[in-house]
Amino acid sequence: MNKRCLICNSAYKNKYDVLLKCTKCGFITTDLEISNDEIKKIYTADYFHGNEYADYINDKAIIQKNFYFRLKTLLKYLDNSDLKKLFEIGCAYGFFLELASVKFKKVDGIDISNDDVEYIKKNQSLNISSGDFLEYQFTEKFDVFCMWDTIEHLKEPHLFIKKISENINSGGLIAFTTGDVGSLNAKIRGRYWRQIHPPVHLHYFNKKSLKILLQNYGFKVKYIGHPGSYFSLYNIFYIILVLKREKMGLFNLIEKTGILNKMIYLNLYDLVYVIAEKE
């Protein structure tokens, strides 16, 4: 095994299936060869409408409810946020940027999905680009970079942190969420943990590996939390019954009861929210 940990350069050991685990920092990665084109093909309109979500756009109110609380936490670490510039990587349909545009002087974003960006251009007045962030050409530096449930999808997450470090103002913040493979739920569930989902999720971080990754590129962690989220019962039952068990008939039967129109709040403490400052 010639691969070395992309965070601390230590050796890997086999975990399970196609996963490798760093022997030092606990970072877990997929032992897969996947091209950028293959990754891009995952994130078509079907990804958000049938393949991973029942209907992402239909859940906008719930998704923005979760984003509201993430934004509220982020604003606690900023002074005069209305004078700051924010950039979001993996902005999907722009639901977070729509909220952030009220609080920040400027909000820009990028997503690999052409479908998402086309939707934003038709429905919102936001400055969004389609493509690979690593190829994006900055003309100015930003004060805040955000990645919500995105870093685990990236082929080379360390290069994203490096590029952010090069294009963020001194004292600027990076804020992101991802699954916590070091959490109790992840340890109990093992290979059946809900976040274990290659090739959609290519990497799995714990708090230790995230701190090292950020320190490598000049960031100091200011906040680490385990936020809960609101979920639509429609999407939960769709994932469990349709995507995982192919029980469309049962799903349709439950849908007729009207119960799927409700939402619930759930915190399994296996999602980590990190805010770090560029030194």
Per-residue model confidence as pLDDT tens digits over 254-267: 999 999 999 999 99
Classify residue 264: in a domain, yes or no: no
CB 130 within 8 Å of CB 157: no
Of 268 and 244, the one with more pLDDT: 268
Pairing verdict, β 19-22 and 28-30? antiparallel
**Number of folded domains that form the chain:** 1
Q: What CATH number does the domain containing 44 carry?
A: 3.40.50.150
Host domain of residue 190:
12-228+269-278
Classify residue 176: in a domain, yes or no: yes
Classify residue 242: in a domain, yes or no: no
Residue type, 151: I
Classify residue 261: in a domain, yes or no: no
Mean pLDDT of the chain: 94
Residue type, 96: F
Angle between the 207-216 and 157-166 helix axes, to the nearest 10 degrees?
40
Classify residue 238: in a domain, yes or no: no
What pLDDT, in 10s, does the model give residues 50-79? 888 889 999 999 999 999 999 999 999 998
In the chain, pLDDT over 90 holds for what percent of residues? 82
CA 145 to chain CA centroid, nearest Å? 12
CB 242 within 8 Å of CB 253: no
Q: Which of 189-200 are b and which e, b meaning 16 or more Cβ less than 10 Å from the residue's Cβ? A: eeeebebbebee
Residue 117 pLDDT grade (very low, low, confident, very high; cuts 50, 70, 90): confident
Classify residue 3: in a domain, yes or no: no
Classify residue 135: in a domain, yes or no: yes
Classify residue 223: in a domain, yes or no: yes
